[in-house]
Every structure is written in C-alpha cells, then in structure tokens.
Amino acid sequence: MRILIFTASTGGGHKRAAAAIEAKIKSISPETEIKVVDAMKAIGKVYDKTVCGGYHFMATKIPKVYGKCYRITDRKNLVYKAVMSSNTMMAKKLLETIDEYSPDIVIICHPFVTTMISKLRRQGKTNVKAISLITDYDAHRTYIVPKIDAYVLAEPQMADKLINTYGVDEKIIYPLGIPIFDSFTQPFSKEEICKREGLDPNVPTVLLMAGSFGVTGVLDFYKSLAEKGKDLQFIVITGRNIKLFGHLEKLIDDMGMQDNTKLLYFVKNVQDYMHISDLIVTKPGGLTVTESLACGLPLAVYSAFPGQERDNADFLVRENAAVMLDSKKGAEQIIDLLNSPERLEEMKKNCRKLSIADSAENIFRLAQKIYSENE
C-alpha cells in the first residue's frame, strides 16, 4: 500500500500530526510506502506564502478579524462559497503531486487540501481514497465536502456537529483522536528526568510554552508569575524566538530567578518537560492540547485567538481540563490552582480521560481497512 500524507505550514500542528503518523507507520509496517508532502509548497511558492503568511498575519496581528472570518465561513454564505471556490482553483496543481506518487490513499491534515481532493475526485481526475483529519477540538464547515471516505475527529463529541449541522454520514466518522508521537504516552521516571535536567522533582513546576505569545506579553506574564511564585519551579521554552530568549535571559538574571527557572530555546524532547510539570501555560493549538492531555497535564490557556484556538480552549474548560487566564489576573489564577491540590488532581484525571490512545496506529489501520475494501 502506498500512502501520501498532505500537510501544511499554517502553524506547526498539521506538520506534527503528519510526522507522528509517518513515524508510527514506519515502525509497525516498514513495507508500506509512505510520503509526507507540504501541499501548499507543492502547489507553488506564491500560494504557500499567501495562505500560510496570510494565516499567520491575521491570527497574530488582527485576531478579531480572523475570528470573524472563521465564524462567517462556518456558515453557508457568499464568503464561504468564495473561500471554497478559491481553494478548488488550485486542485489541478495538487493533481501533479498525486500523479507523481500514485498513492492508494491520501491522509489529509488541512481543510483546504481536503477541498481540493474532493474536487479532483468529483471531476474524475483521481480515484484515490481520502481520509481527512480534523486537528482541533471543534469542527468547521470548510472540512466538509463530498467524496471523502473518512473523517477522523479529535474527540467523540464532535460527531454530533458533523452529523446534525453538516449532514455527514455517521458511517464515515471516526473519533480516533489527533495523532501524536509515542513518547508522550510511554512510561517515564520523573526523578530521572529531573536529575538529568537539573530540576527538583519535589517542587511544583510550571511549564511555559512561550514562543508564540509575543515578546512583551510573555515577559510581563513571567515577571508577574515569578514574583508571586517564589516557591515554584519554572520551565520556559521559547521555541525558535531568539529575541524572546534574549529578553527572558536578561529578565531572569535581573530578578535573580536563575536557580528556579530553566530557560530553553527550541527543544526536541518537550514530552519530558510535560511529564514532570504540574501545569502548562500555553496557547491552545490542537497538537499542543493533545500532547498535554496525553501527559495528564492541565492547561492554563494564555491568549487564545478567536477561531479554532478559542474553540479548543472552550472545550477544555468545559471538561475541566484547563483554566482560561485573565489578562490581568493570570498569575494569581495559577498560584490559586497550584495551592488547590485536589482541584489540580481532578484536572489531571480529566486530561487522562480525554486522551485517546494509539491514534496514529488506529488511523493507519483505518487506511488499511479503506484500502482493502477498494481492492
């Protein structure tokens, strides 16, 4: 069987989901041919920059406008039709990639690509089977198109919206979860990780995933939290934001917080820091949420922009797996939560309940099932 996974660079989540599926398939079925392709880049540089750059600009610079567009396109109207039409215009370019790799089945990690595959199949230009992954904790109408063989959902409650709002056949709905790497669910030793990382396993630990917050916002937030939580241990990961790393390094030195703050740049073992932490402060992207849930790690949601992030946050708060931080009182909220061990433990249990095991493998098994039915 030949599998082609389509991803996109609108945020890191789509690419991480694709990589997790690829890694799992290679580990359990080395005879399966698999290829991961960034669909936007395959279509062309201009389209890639327009879609990915436009998404980043709107989500970070004008989030309220992005949120309004997100809500408008979740309803059948002229704007929705225009967006869907513009996406399908690029379908022909995507066909070149499909023809090049000749897959038996495609796994799609972005709604725009789902739209393109649907058009190509409706036009009879390809008969490739298609699985669409919804990598957030609420659905959106742009995912829903004809000629898709399966929709994989982040969690079971989403099925109601697909069936009753969008009219999707329940037979093609599979709540298998968002795929993540096995390292987030494998056994670990907190003591060993802390020893290796120079951390104290007996001190309450807050993990801040700070790379996407913006420099000014995270500096002010860290300062406020560190001043109120002198007895806490902090892990701050800035991602590839070198400017933020430099500012935080200076602030930590100025505050004398070097002994209880571990400042990190880009890391490849984020699962270790999730495993040993008591709470994560983060923006609620679909993959970060899924990884945190798998680690039984409650979330303190910082600045969720309107759209899929707010939907993810609302879901987590509703299920008592997260708290939404107030822009002015966020530090106090975190201190209060950490001083309420019973409440925090209940949130950890809820995180584990929401986590869906073996998503990547089950998506592969679904692909095998669809392929075998087509033979």
Q: Provide the CB-side half-sphere exposure for 200 (13 A, CA).
A: 11
Contact predicate 127/121, CB 8 Å: yes
218-228 per-position pLDDT tens digit: 888 899 999 99
The fold adopted by the segment(s) 2-178+357-374 is: Rossmann fold (3.40.50)
Q: What is the pLDDT of residue 14?
A: 86
| Cβ atoms within 10 Å of 319's Cβ, excluding its own | 17
Concatenate the DSSP letters of all residues of 144-201 into one string.
--SS-SEEE-SSTTHHHHHHHTS---GGGEE-------GGGTS---HHHHHHHHT--T
Contact predicate 263/252, CB 8 Å: yes
Which residue, 64, 57, 74, is CA-closest to 136?
Answer: 74
pLDDT (tens digit, 0 to 9) for every residue of the chain, 375 residues total?
999 999 987 767 888 999 999 999 999 999 999 999 999 888 888 887 877 777 777 777 788 888 888 898 988 888 888 888 877 778 888 999 999 999 999 999 988 899 999 999 999 999 999 999 999 999 999 999 999 999 999 999 999 999 999 999 999 999 999 999 999 999 999 999 999 999 999 999 999 987 655 656 788 889 999 999 889 999 999 988 888 899 999 999 999 999 999 999 989 999 999 999 999 999 899 999 999 999 999 999 988 888 899 999 999 999 999 999 998 899 999 999 999 999 999 999 999 999 999 999 999 999 999 999 876
Q: Which residue has the tokens 């109120």?
A: 228
Give the distance, in angstroms, between the CA of residue 212 and the centroid of all CA atoms in the same chain: 13
Model pTM score: 0.94
Contact predicate 315/337, CB 8 Å: no
Q: What is the pLDDT of residue 373?
A: 85
In this structure, is the dihedral angle defined by the CA atoms of residues 178, 182, 186 and 189, taken in order, positive or negative? Answer: negative
Residue type, 96: E
Contact predicate 32/105, CB 8 Å: no
Helix axes 215-228, 242-255, angle to 10 degrees: 30
Both structure tokens of 307: 């759209």
Both structure tokens of 260: 């209880």
Domain residue spans of the chain: 2-178+357-374, 183-354
d(CA 207, CA 282): 8
The fold adopted by the segment(s) 183-354 is: Rossmann fold (3.40.50)
Helix axes 111-122, 78-88, angle to 10 degrees: 70
Task: Return all residues near 335 (Cβ < 8 A) that are at least 6 apart.
Answer: 225, 228, 229
Q: Which residues does residue 301 pair with via DSSP β-bridges, in sequence order?
A: 282, 324
Q: What is the pLDDT of residue 227?
A: 92
Contact predicate 4/116, CB 8 Å: no
**2-178+357-374 and 183-354: identical CATH topology:** yes
Q: Provide the CB-side half-sphere exposure for 350 (13 A, CA).
A: 18
Which residue, 126, 148, 43, 46, is CA-closest to 90?
Answer: 43
CA angle 53, 56, 61 (to 5 degrees): 120
Burial of 167 (C-beta count, 10 Å sphere; 0-12/13-18/19+): exposed
Q: What is the pLDDT of residue 320?
A: 98
Q: What is the pLDDT of residue 298?
A: 98
